[in-house]
Amino acid sequence: MMHAMMHASVGDDVFGEDPSINQLEEMAARLFNMEAALFCPTGTMSNQIAIRCHTHPGDEVICSNNAHVYIYEGGGIAANSGSQVRAIPGNYGRITGQQVLAAINPDDVHKARTRLVCLENTANRGGGSCYDLEEIRKIRQICNENSLQMHLDGARLFNALVAKKETASQYGEIFDSISVCLSKGLGCPIGSVLLGSKRFMTKARRVRKVFGGSMRQAGFMAAAGIYALQNNIERLSQDHLHAKLISEALMKKDFVKDIMPVETNIVIATMKEKYPAKQIAEILYQKGVHVIAIAPHELRFVTHLDISESMVEKAIQIIEAL
Ligand X SMILES: Cc1ncc(COP(=O)(O)O)c(C=O)c1O
The neighbour count for residue 162, using CB atoms within 10 Å, is 21
Binding to ligand X by residue 43, rule CB under 6 A? yes
Among residues 5 and 249, whose Cβ is nearest to ligand X? 5
To 5 degrees, how large is the angle CA 250–CA 232–CA 177?
A: 95
Binding to ligand X by residue 44, rule CB under 6 A? yes
Binding to ligand X by residue 264, rule CB under 6 A? no
x/- mask, ligand X, residues 234-253, rule CB under 6 A, reads --------------------
Percentages (nearest 5) of helix, strand, coil residues in the chain:
45, 20, 35
Kindly provide the b/e burial profile for residues 278-287, where b requires at least 16 CB atoms within 10 angstroms of the residue's own CB: eebbeebeee
Binding to ligand X by residue 66, rule CB under 6 A? no
Among residues 83 and 124, whose Cβ is nearest to ligand X? 124
Among 9, 23, 33, 42, binds ligand X (CB under 6 A): 42
Cα 212 to its chain centre, rounded Å, is 21
Binding to ligand X by residue 181, rule CB under 6 A? yes
The amino acid occupying position 208 is R
Residues 141 and 98: their CA atoms lie apart, in Å, by: 11
Closest approach, Cβ 77 to ligand X, in A, equals: 13
Closest approach, Cβ 252 to ligand X, in A, equals: 28
Interface region with ligand X, contact rule CB under 6 A, candidates 38-46, 94-102, 200-208, 287-295: 38-46
CA distances from 153 to 109, 110, 124, 198, 318 (A): 30, 29, 10, 19, 34
The neighbour count for residue 160, using CB atoms within 10 Å, is 23
Cα 292 to its chain centre, rounded Å, is 18
Among 124, 214, 232, 264, binds ligand X (CB under 6 A): 124
Ranked by CB distance to ligand X, the top (closest) residue is 43
Binding to ligand X by residue 68, rule CB under 6 A? yes
Residues 33 and 195: their CA atoms lie apart, in Å, by: 9
CA distances from 320 to 249, 274, 282, 285, 288 (A): 7, 19, 16, 15, 14
Binding to ligand X by residue 36, rule CB under 6 A? no
8 A C-beta contact, residue 114 and residue 104:
yes
Binding to ligand X by residue 25, rule CB under 6 A? no
Among 22, 81, 114, 183, binds ligand X (CB under 6 A): 183
Among 120, 176, 239, 263, binds ligand X (CB under 6 A): 120
Interface region with ligand X, contact rule CB under 6 A, candidates 40-48, 160-168, 169-177, 231-239: 40-48
Closest approach, Cβ 43 to ligand X, in A, equals: 3
Binding to ligand X by residue 153, rule CB under 6 A? yes
**Residues near ligand X, by CB under 6 A:** 42-44, 47, 68, 120, 124, 153, 155, 181, 183, 192
